[in-house]
Amino acid sequence: MLSRSLALFLVLLLAACSKPPEVAATRPSDETGPATAPADGYTFGVFGDNRNEGSDHPAFEQIIKNLAADRPAMVLHTGDVIYGDIGDEANMHLLWRAFRHYVAPLKVPVHLSPGNHDIFNPVSARVWKQEVGETYSAFDEGGCRFIALDTQSAPSQVDDKQMEWLDAQLKTADDRLVFIYFHIPPFSSGPWLIPGLLGRDQNRLHKKFVEYKSKIGAVFCGHEHLFGNVTKDGIHYYITGGANATLYTPPGLGGFHHYLLVKVHGREFTVTVRPVSPAGMIQPGQPPRPLQAGDVLDDFEQPLRTWLAWDNSVALSRVAAPERPGQSALKMEFDTRFCKYPVLYSVFETPADFSKAAAIDIDVFINPQSANRLTLTCGIEGASTPGKTCDAPPVALNPGWNPIHLDLSAAWLTHDARRAARQINFMITARSTARAWVAFANLHAEGASAGSGALLEKWDRPIPWNMWSESATALTADHVTHGKSALDISLDPQSPAAVLYAALDPAWNLSAVHSVALDVFLPEPAVSGDLTLIFLKDHFTYPAAPLALKPGLNHLIIPLDPAWLPDSARANVQGIRLMLSTPKPKDPKGKIRQHIILDHLHAD
């Protein structure tokens, strides 16, 4: 593997062979000019958090290639241009030279705002001044005003001088449409991520934006390594921190590499999310399925088993099993430039005992049109040895369906891991670097006697839910309002929040539906809770107002109000999230888990 120093040397050697491009600092505020009519069709790109550390930057290089093809007039950068805190001052300058080389194909100005890996001490501040210039500034272009802010010179803050300057820039924008960009967002895109700006600056910065709401088109931020959007008091915040840095969340929660393309048409503008890795790409699927009042969306009769990929650049989706009418499968799509060894895994909510099973069987489908040679390795991690996986011998995969038989009595699996399995995983190894996909179906344990066995997974839930949480669990509940069972989400008292999320294929057409209803039961000792329903279309989130939960049974009815769900999204709902939370206990050492039980999600 190339060392970081050698990798930088090679990049700089290539850069020396061509004319170095100009990376535009955000220009000083006195370069703003007289008001002009907003341009029609003015286009610019936005990205952040490429952090060009190390020797491999496949996502960033793909972003630059795709963005250059889009031919924007210029690009905004939301910060973390480099990973400056991995070396000394000389290394920081090397990283800046490397960044200029990487963005050279754009051939347009790249306007920068500082991130926490760009400015973090006096030395890095001096390097920024030398390499870029001002830390906050503004410029006018295309009939718009663009304002860069500095959230790093005073960490996670915007000082009084900068606030006064910002007020002047907004006041003198006249009839220009204003776009603002900086690193740390005032508000996180979800409960699972790091806090935004410090409380005082979060509030006063947002209030300033609201004061000039009629002028502000959008606010672009980075810092969170994902895509997210938040609208608060009429201010549209877009979080775009997915240019190359390690992703924070699974793709279903915005964790995919991407950039934004913004097109301005008079006083109107559109923001398009452009993924570059398979995980963020919305695959063409079936037409949206029209739903009617009374249709059951999920009765939560089946146990929930969360399947994830170790690397968030890998896309997982439930599909119709290829060549098997009436069956479902889990499709795993990957690009080995982004992830060399894609792995599908699931953690058992309670340790699985395979001591009476003779084998684990699973069917794996390989695209017949693929020339890439793939192998599969199954691993089982024991509950008593977390982090240590017992790997079965690799199996070569052929085009079409491959019935895989894993002998659990063989030497690859230890006695302890067989009796108490914590996790099962399936790793794909590719012979060549390329984009590919595989599909999994009919995972089951084969009994010790002929004809006996237990189905572990067939990926046919009405909604293919996954769950994000630091410590929540999902089990079948006895308390139900409909059917035989429900879904019990058990929350850790020290981190009492979880998110259920799923991609929908086919998408839902809710045009004929007035509301969505859900039964939620809060057993003792829970005293209250919150639930928020969120729909997704083209990666953008459309959240309903949070609903308060009381102890006992809650019959929730969520009207599909155009105020939060526009008609275009209502007719093509491509994803769903349920955000759940309960208050933290007063006792900081409390260990009693809180429960939220879900049942009978239906159209009303």
What CATH number is attached to the domain comprising 47?
3.60.21.10
Cβ neighbours of residue 268 closer than 8 Å, sequence gap 6 or more: none
Confidence of residue 181 (pLDDT cuts 50, 70, 90): very high
Confidence category of residue 54, pLDDT binned at 50, 70, 90: low
Per-residue pLDDT at 293: 95
207 and 353: one domain?
Answer: no
Residue range(s) defining the domain that contains residue 415? 308-457
Top-confidence residue, 212 or 484: 212
Note whether residue 549 is domain-resident.
yes
Q: What does the alpha-carbon distance between residue 518 and residue 598 come to, in Å, rounded to a whole number?
A: 7
Q: How distant, in Å, are the alpha carbons of 22, 113, 389, 528 from that of 342? A: 38, 34, 16, 40
Report how far Cα 275 is from the mean position of its chain's Cα atoms.
Answer: 11
The tally of domains found in the chain comes to: 3
Query: Given 405, 425, 457, which residue is the final one in a domain?
Result: 457
- 8 A C-beta contact, residue 58 and residue 313: no
Which region among 66-80, 189-203, 342-356, 579-593 has the lowest average model confidence (pLDDT)?
189-203
Question: Which of 276, 297, 325 delimits the end of a domain?
Answer: 276
pLDDT of residue 3: 45
Q: Is pLDDT of 337 > 70?
A: yes
Task: Give me the count of residues in the chain.
Answer: 604
> Which of 205, 235, 158, 250 shows the shortest CA–CA distance to 466?
250
Task: Calculate what percentage of the chain has a pLDDT beyond 90.
Answer: 66
Examine the pLDDT at 119 and tell me if it is beyond 90: yes
Domain of 578, CATH number, reads 2.60.120.260
Burial of residue 386, with CB atoms counted within 10 A of its CB: 0-12 exposed, 13-18 middle, 19 or more buried:
exposed
Q: Are residues 259 and 349 in the same domain?
A: no
Residue 44 in any domain: the answer is yes
Within-domain flag for 284: no
Domain-embedded: residue 147: yes
Question: Cα-flanking dihedrals φ and ψ of residue 323, to 5°?
Answer: 65, 15
- Residue ending a domain, among 416, 439, 457, is 457
Q: Give the distance from CA 510 to its chain's centroid.
A: 25
Given this model, what pLDDT does residue 19 score? 43
The average pLDDT across 340-360 equals 92
Q: Which two tokens stand for residue 356?
A: 């009476």
Looking at the fold, whether 251 and 335 belong to one and the same domain comes out as no
118 and 249 housed in the same domain: yes
Residue 124 has pLDDT above 90, yes or no: yes
Weakest-pLDDT range from 76-85, 371-380, 466-475: 466-475
List all residues 6 or more positions away from 274 whose beta carbon is below 8 Å from its beta carbon: 66, 67, 70, 258, 259, 260, 261
Q: By three-state DSSP, how is residue 571 classified? A: coil
Distance CA 534, CA 183 (A): 25
Closest CA to 468 of 443, 421, 502: 502
Which helix or strand (DSSP H or E) is residue 256 part of?
none
What distances in angstroms separate CA 376 from CA 238, 392, 440, one per listed residue? 39, 9, 11
What is the structure's pLDDT at 1?
A: 38
Q: Angle 58-70/89-103 helices, nearest 10 degrees? A: 40
- Nearest CA to 240 out of 322, 163, 185 is that of 185
Pair 251, 322 in one domain? no
Whether residue 470 is found in the same domain as residue 447: no
Contacts of 122 (CB under 8 A, 6+ apart): none
Percent above pLDDT 70 for the chain: 89
Instruction: Examine the domain organization and report whether 410 and 351 are in the same domain.
Output: yes
Are residues 438 and 494 both part of a single domain? no
Q: Is 231 part of any domain? A: yes
Q: Side by side, which strands form the sheet with 40-47?
A: 110-112, 74-77, 40-47, 258-265, 268-275
| Per-residue pLDDT at 289 | 94
3-state class (DSSP) for residue 569:
helix
**Residue 287 domain-assigned (yes or no):** no
CA distances from 387 to 157, 380, 534 (A): 39, 10, 34
Four-residue CA torsion sign, 531, 536, 539, 541 = negative
**In the chain, what's the furthest Cα-to-Cα distance?**
84
pLDDT band at 197 (very low <50, low <70, confident <90, very high): low
**Residue carrying the six token digits 């049109």:** 369
Q: Which two tokens stand for residue 404?
A: 């895989």
- The per-residue pLDDT for range 404-458, each reduced to its tens digit, is 999 999 999 999 999 999 999 999 999 887 889 999 999 999 886 544 567 789 8
User: What distance in Å separates the CA atoms of residue 47 and residue 29, rounded to the nearest whole number?
Assistant: 22
Determine how many CB atoms are found less than 10 A away from the CB of residue 301. 16
Q: Would you tell me how many other CB atoms lie within 10 Å of the CB of residue 105? A: 13
Residues 117 and 218 in one domain: yes
Phi, psi (degrees; rounded to nearest 5) at 568? -65, -40
Compare 301 and 536 and report the one with higher pLDDT. 536
Report d(CA 186, CA 204) in Å as an integer. 10
Give, for 360, the enclosing helix (H) or strand (E).
strand 357-366
Domain assignment present for 286: no
Query: Do residue 438 and residue 353 come from a single domain?
Result: yes
pLDDT tens digits for range 16-37: 444 444 555 543 333 444 444 4
8 has pLDDT over 60: no
Separation between Cα atoms, residue 54 and residue 41, nearest integer Å: 38
Mean pLDDT of 379-405: 95
Q: Kindly state whether residues 439 and 516 are assigned to the same domain.
A: no
Contact of 282 with 322, CB cutoff 8 Å: no
Same domain, 160 and 60: yes
Q: Kindly indicate the confidence band of residue 494, based on its pLDDT and cuts at 50, 70 and 90.
A: confident
With 90 as the cut, is the pLDDT of residue 190 above it? no
301 lies in some domain: no
First to last CA, the chain: 57
Residue 430: which residues within 8 A CB-CB, separation 6 or more?
336, 372, 373, 374, 436
> What is the per-residue pLDDT for 24?
55
Over residues 150-164, the mean pLDDT reads: 88
Average pLDDT, the chain: 88
- Two structure tokens written together for 249: 């969340």
Q: What is the pLDDT of residue 456?
A: 87
Confidence band for 230, pLDDT divided at 50, 70 and 90:
very high
**Does the pLDDT value for residue 221 go beyond 60?**
yes
Query: Cα–Cα distance between 599 and 298 in angstroms, integer?
Result: 8
How many CB atoms are located within 10 Å of the residue 107 CB?
10
